[in-house]
Amino acid sequence: MESSAERPKAVVLLSGGVDSTTCLAIAKSQGYALYALSFRYGQRHLQELDRAARIAVRFGAERHIVVDFDMRTIGGSVLVGEGEIPKERSAAEIASGGIPPTYVPARNTIFLAFALAWAEVLGARDIFIGVNAVDFSGYPDCRPAFIEAFQRVAETGTRMGSQGSPVRIHAPLLRMNKAEIIRTGLALGVDYGMTHSCYDPPPDGPACGRCDSCLLRRKGFAEAGIPDPIPYPD
């Protein structure tokens, strides 16, 4: 077995949810030494950070760091406290292509910028992000055009890029539906009971089961024909 010093390094964005955890498992399966990166950005669903920490340990990450910044000073999203989390939206409403109020302005741009900076410090040539443009809430920073654009940023706006060794942005889940993502993760040993998806969980209770993120998760498990291992109020 290769030591971590012999394996290529990858920075993996890890929220503690289904997609990012699956992405971490994929990076591990491809032989990367894992450097997990999470964010405390003023989100109301802070439980995800505890889950991310446990998942990083479970997958043997070399390091897991949490970067702090506060999007509440800017606002513009219900995820940072401005208004109510939408509940009980139909599948058609979620899939309509409209941008819901849970969108956090430029969040993935900010996340990837931090990942790119850490990759340069580590000498890592690869960043993994678990964005998905099939079963998703319509966020513009989860679409193929965004990933392609950020790849150009990595190539033109960094020292590594200017020296001809740009960081590669990997989005392996981009064109999978949620059921395919779940099946992929299970095949790689993901325990989805460790993950957290809810946008509006009570402090000590189960996921709400009714926000967009919960609904997409539940739909994915149902379509995969696999019971969701986390509890819901109903």
Q: What is the pLDDT of residues 88-130, one digit of tens each?
A: 998 888 887 689 999 999 999 999 999 999 999 999 999 999 9
Kindly state whether residue 229 falls inside one of the protein's structural domains: no
Question: From CA 66, how far away is CA 85, in angstroms rounded?
Answer: 24
Q: Is the pLDDT of residue 1 over 70?
A: no
Kindly state whether residue 109 falls inside one of the protein's structural domains: yes
pLDDT of residue 22: 98
Place of tokens 């994915």: 220
Contact indicator for 21, 53 with CB cutoff of 8 Å: no
133 alpha carbon, distance to own chain's centre: 12
Tell me the C-alpha to C-alpha distance, in Å, between residue 53 and each of 58, 61, 62: 9, 10, 12
Q: What is the mean pLDDT of residues 68-80?
A: 95
Kindly state whether residue 2 falls inside one of the protein's structural domains: no
DSSP 12: E
Q: Is the pLDDT of residue 141 over 80?
A: yes
pLDDT of residue 234: 73
Closest CA to 151 of 167, 131, 163, 140: 167
pLDDT of residue 88: 93
Q: What is the pLDDT of residues 162-176, one digit of tens each?
A: 999 999 999 999 999
Between 3-12, 68-77, 78-87, the lowest mean confidence (pLDDT) is in 3-12
Kindly state whether residue 4 falls inside one of the protein's structural domains: no
Closest CA to 136 of 173, 86, 105: 173
pLDDT of residue 190: 98
DSSP 61: -
Kindly state whether residue 232 falls inside one of the protein's structural domains: no
pLDDT of residue 6: 85
Q: What is the pLDDT of residues 150-200, one digit of tens each?
A: 999 999 999 999 999 999 999 999 999 999 999 999 999 999 999 999 999
Q: Which domain holds residue 160?
A: 9-224
Q: Is the pLDDT of residue 4 over 70?
A: no
Query: Number of folded domains in the chain?
Result: 1
- Amino acid identity, position 58: R
Tell me the C-alpha to C-alpha distance, in Å, between residue 43 and each of 49, 76, 84, 152, 206: 10, 12, 13, 29, 18
Kindly state whether residue 230 falls inside one of the protein's structural domains: no
Residue count of the chain, please give it: 234
Q: Binning pLDDT at 50, 70 and 90, where does residue 2 land?
A: low
Closest CA to 79 of 106, 100, 102, 48: 102
> Model-level pTM?
0.95
pLDDT of residue 3: 59
Kindly state whether residue 1 falls inside one of the protein's structural domains: no
Closest CA to 191 of 21, 10, 39: 21
Q: Binning pLDDT at 50, 70 and 90, where does residue 206 land?
A: confident
Q: What is the CATH number of the domain that holds 170?
A: 3.40.50.620
